[in-house]
Amino acid sequence: MPPLWTSAQIAEATGGAASAPFAVSGVAFDSREVGPGDLFVAMKGETTDGHKFVDKAFGQGAAGAIVSEPVAHPHVLVRDSALALEALGVASRKRMGGKLIGVTGSVGKTGTKEALFQALDRAAPGQVHRSVNSYNNHVGVPLSLTRMPRDSAYGVFEMGMNHAGELAALTRQVRPHVAIVTAIAPAHIEFFGTEAKIAEAKAEIFEGLEPGGTAIIPYDSPHVATLYNKAERHAARILTFGMSREADIHALEIVAAPGGGSLVTAKLPDAELCFTVAAPGDHWVSNALAVLAAVDALGGDLAAAGLALAEMPGLPGRGERHILPVAGGQALLIDESYNANPLSMTATLTQLGRETAERRIAILGGMRELGDRSAELHAGLAEPLRAGQVDFAILVGAEMAPLAAMLDGFIPYVHVPDTAAAIPLIQTEMRAGDAILVKGSNGVGLSRLVATLGQAARDGDSE
């Protein structure tokens, strides 16, 4: 296979100077992720300097580096490594002749990105590139672009933001042919003040659309007009998706699928499709409709997309399900530990209420970046907890105090200061027949609780 980048190509894209010829097969800016044949981008940050890890990167097999100061290894010397990474990403976008899709939203963007990758890869195996993990910021997006093979048929990129203007800069790098907004919720509202401002910032994704591009927006959102008005200025075509029959892509019928998930009959502008969404919950049905809208806009294979949605497993931290052996039987653990905001909390608690279980336990961590509305929005989870038929709640972190006050006398709960305190509590509390939801902002660290329970289950299986 041809190399991903040669030193000459890197130097031309970045305006740098190569110390020696080399070729690379991958790109990384974290020395811990460097593998054989990779390009290591040594960047200077507020707390660390990647140049300190150049020797380590080459010890792990790096073939070359981008640096802003000379090193004793093959490299391209530039004035600013971060700007060079961005320039290399732009060069990657220019040389790729396939179709690109950008995905943003307050919730569901990573799941939608992964589902769209699976849907496209099903019809064009090995020809679809996507951003990995949640590399969706000012560093992650250009990194994902640089990793894209020039002969990719499709590229799927997640883009995030927590301040106005950030998404506009990212979408102009990606220049998508299709741009999706999954949903609007009060995520990062601390930095915006209102949901309306969040909608305006998310709509920036349409600014980078290629001529003739398609905007895909959630019809059921109260901010649909804001999104639509912005899309009209940049998109040649606008597709809406949602549960409403007025949406261009909507669900005609949704029934529970055997073994979980949903069996959906969807109406598209020129087709009807019956398919299964493996992941349970109405929010996953909405994500699936957005995926179908994108595949339709690209002229892709809708039947293959339906098959991919039926086979897509849950993602770690975003709905992955684990069966835990406990005394007398098993318990279900639903891992939603990666992120949380009021909308996603409500959606997952609603789904918890539909689980067949002896008891439903919710382990909820604080929601971050809610600003002055934090107390109000945390307290507002009381009704979703009751509607989700939660039998017992473990509330983690100081942010959960307003919710604890609302639950007094209604739902049994324990309020603990941190994840370390929650782990032994659930280990003692859980029993056969439980369905346990774990959800909170990533900074709360509930992924450690999931990892601990999972490791205990694996250790038990090996005995």
SS3 11: helix
Per-residue pLDDT, 46: 80
Per-residue pLDDT, 295: 97
How many other C-beta atoms lie within 10 A of the C-beta of residue 304? Answer: 18
Per-residue pLDDT, 130: 96
Beta strands in 291-419 (DSSP E): 320-326, 329-336, 359-365, 392-396, 413-416
| Residues paired with residue 156 on neighbouring β-strands, in sequence order | 101, 130
Q: What gap in Å lies between CA 195 and CA 200, rounded to an integer? A: 9
Token reading at 91:
């060069």
| Residue closest to 322 by CA, chosen among 198, 441, 434 | 434
Q: What gap in Å lies between CA 141 and CA 174, rounded to an integer? A: 8
pTM above 0.95? no
Q: Look-up: residue for tokens 């490594």?
A: 81
Per-residue pLDDT, 186: 83
| Residue closest to 111 by CA, chosen among 287, 276, 357, 330 | 287
Are 173 and 86 contacting, i.e. CB atoms less than 8 angstroms apart? yes
- Residue 437 backbone class (left: φ over 0; alpha: ψ -120 to 50; beta: rest): beta
Per-residue pLDDT, 462: 45
Q: Report the CATH superfamily, name and number, of domain 96-311.
A: Mur-like, catalytic domain (3.40.1190.10)
Are 206 and 159 contacting, i.e. CB atoms less than 8 angstroms apart? no
Per-residue pLDDT, 460: 54
Side-chain-facing half-sphere of 147: CA atoms under 13 Å: 24
Longest CA–CA separation in the chain, Å: 71
Cα–Cα distance list, 166 to 87, 149, 204, 223, 440 (Å): 17, 25, 9, 20, 24
Cα–Cα distance list, 83 to 122, 320, 352 (Å): 35, 36, 45
SS3 258: coil
Domain 320-462 CATH class label? alpha beta
- The model's pLDDT over 369-378, given as tens digits with 9 standing for 90+, comes to 898 999 999 9
Per-residue pLDDT, 455: 84
| Residues paired with residue 40 on neighbouring β-strands, in sequence order | 28, 65
Q: What gap in Å lies between CA 337 and CA 396, rounded to an integer? A: 12
Token reading at 153:
């048929």
Per-residue pLDDT, 52: 95
| Residue closest to 444 by CA, chosen among 413, 383, 404, 400 | 400
SS3 76: strand
Fold of 5-81: 3.40.1390
Chunked mean pLDDT (size 10), the chain, 463 residues: 95 98 97 96 90 97 97 97 97 97 93 95 96 86 97 96 91 98 85 89 97 97 97 98 97 89 95 93 94 97 95 86 93 93 93 94 95 94 96 97 94 97 96 97 94 76 48
Residue type at 327? Answer: A
Q: In Å, how far from its chain's centre is CA 265?
A: 25
Domain-wise residue ranges, the chain: 5-81, 96-311, 320-462
- DSSP calls for 24-50: ESEEESSGGG--TTEEEE--B-SS-BG
- Per residue in 418-445, is it b (16+ CB within 10 Å) or e — as a string? bbeebbeebeebbeeebbbbbbbbeebb
| Residues paired with residue 239 on neighbouring β-strands, in sequence order | 216
Q: What gap in Å lies between CA 386 and CA 410, rounded to an integer? A: 8
Q: What gap in Å lies between CA 454 and CA 431, rounded to an integer? A: 15
Per-residue pLDDT, 1: 78
Q: In Å, how far from its chain's centre is CA 389?
A: 28
